[in-house]
Amino acid sequence: MHAVIMAGGRGTRFWPRSREKMPKHLLDIVSERTIIQETVDRIKPLIKPDNILIVTGKKHARELIKQLPDIPVQNIIIEPVGRNTAACIGLAAVHIQKKAKDDIMVVLPSDHAIGNPKKYRTVIAAAARAARAKNALVTIGIQPAGPHTGFGYLEGGTSEGRFGAEEVLHVASIREKPDLSLARKFIKSGNFYWNSGMFIWKASTILGEIEQYLPELYSGLMTIRDSLGNAQETQTLSRVYRQLPSISIDYGVMEKAKSVFVIPAEFGWSDVGSWDALWDISKKDEKGNAVRGNAPVILEDTSGALVYSTKKLVALVGVKDLIIVETKDALLICKRGQSQDVKKIVDALEAKKIHQLL
């Protein structure tokens, strides 16, 4: 079994901590370990480091090598350019085929938090058995805590049996991020789950589905696979990868494939997608305040706040539901509940060409 950790993206919703050169998965946002280190730590009891692949961009490869000394350098796969998740996963699949003929791939985002790692590994192991036995595409559906509009949803259908303690369901439909009214209907129905973005399948299975639904991508991947290990590998990858279609695995394959299964699970999952999400999973005082960083914080008549600072004293008086993030060159003040809009600040900085703060 191989793990493939997708370590791309910019993490714009975690500005000003997250920057182009140090996106959120390279930061110690959730604990003293960085998010990517925690992702690797979680899967290592199930998959040895030699079989863990990291797919990333050139800007972040050196930092990943530094942060993940147990992962062989050759397992850090560098994309010449970003081409969304279908190309990223396909590239990892051809590397696995070249190395191991065919094997189960556990595809994981690099930037999630998990409260119960033991249960998480139990679910992953069950999904791997189902993927091998059914020759299917298996994903993990998170039991929804409420009608969230920031996640895609998976509709569970008929049962495909149990693998260990975990029931496997056929996926009846895959839905994009809904509005609040539709999200409430999903929750009321009782058979919808948050789409975790975790996938488990054989390398040959996903490549077969890519061949059927994304033939242009498949053709490029086969050219890349034929070049692996020879003198033309780097040149071929750079030339071909730039021409690949940019499309997500959900839209390009999962929404079209026939044999797609889901394991409903609950293991304290969070996509840590915003400062609000960090407040949700943080330890809080009796007034609902969460404090991160090493700097002193004074809170008077304050409730529902998230404060992050590493150097400067932060003092709040008579306020509620604020997010305060202090870094050496920027200060973010945001109403809690609106941190998804932090991305607009990054967009504004780009428009004003203030590149030193990106």
DSSP 336-354: TT-GGGHHHHHHHHHHTT-
Number of compact structural domains in the chain: 2
pLDDT at 254: 96
Same domain for 160 and 59: yes
Name the residue type at position 17: R
Q: Does one domain contain both 27 and 142?
A: yes
- Do 265 and 283 lie in one domain? The reply is no
**Alpha carbons 262 and 278: distance in angstroms, whole number:** 26
pTM of the shown model: 0.92
What band does 8 get if pLDDT is binned at 50, 70 and 90?
confident
Same domain (yes/no): 261, 284: no
Residue found under tokens 């008549």: 301
β-pairing, 166-175 vs 260-265, is antiparallel
Most confident listed range (8-12, 125-129, 279-283) = 125-129
Assign residue 260 the CATH number of its domain.
3.90.550.10
CB atoms within 10 A of CB 195: 23
For residues 171 and 306, state if they share a domain: no
Domain boundary among 231, 253, 270: 270
Closest CA to 147 of 181, 174, 172, 176: 181
Whether residues 256 and 224 fall in one domain: yes
Q: Helices in 111-179 by DSSP H: which ranges? A: 117-134
For 159, residues 6+ apart whose C-beta sits below 8 A from its C-beta are: 167, 168, 169, 170
Q: Is the predicted pLDDT of residue 305 greater than 70, yes or no?
A: yes
Lookup: tokens for 155? 């509709």
Look at residues 270, 300, 322 and tell me which one is the last residue of a structural domain: 270
- Position 11 pLDDT exceeds 70: no
291 and 228 in a common domain:
no
Q: Are 232 and 319 in a shared domain?
A: no
Looking at residue 62, what DSSP letter applies?
A: H
Q: In what order do the strands lie in the sheet with 290-292?
A: 290-292, 306-308, 322-326, 331-335
Distance of alpha carbon 25 from alpha carbon 68, whole angstroms: 12
pLDDT tens digits for range 57-82: 999 999 999 999 999 999 999 999 99
Are residue 56 and residue 165 in the same domain, yes or no? Answer: yes
191-216 tens-digit pLDDT = 999 999 999 999 999 999 999 999 99
Render pLDDT for 114-134 as a digit per residue (tens, 0 to 9): 999 999 999 999 999 999 999
Q: What is the mean pLDDT of the chain?
A: 94
* 3-state secondary structure at position 275: helix
Cis peptide before 16 (omega within 30 of 0): yes
Q: Count Cα neighbours of 275 within 13 Å in the Cβ-side half-sphere.
A: 33
Q: How does strand 166-175 pair with strand 153-163? A: antiparallel
Q: Are residues 327 and 222 in the same domain?
A: no
Flag whether pLDDT at 340 surpasses 90.
no
**Structural domain for 90, as ranges:** 2-270
C-alpha angle 31/34/36, rounded to 5°?
Answer: 130
Q: Do 131 and 260 lie in a common domain?
A: yes
Q: Of the candidates 270, 289, 315, which is a domain's last residue?
A: 270
Residues 6+ apart with CB under 8 A from 130: 136, 138, 160, 163, 168, 200, 261, 263
> Do 32 and 148 lie in a common domain?
yes
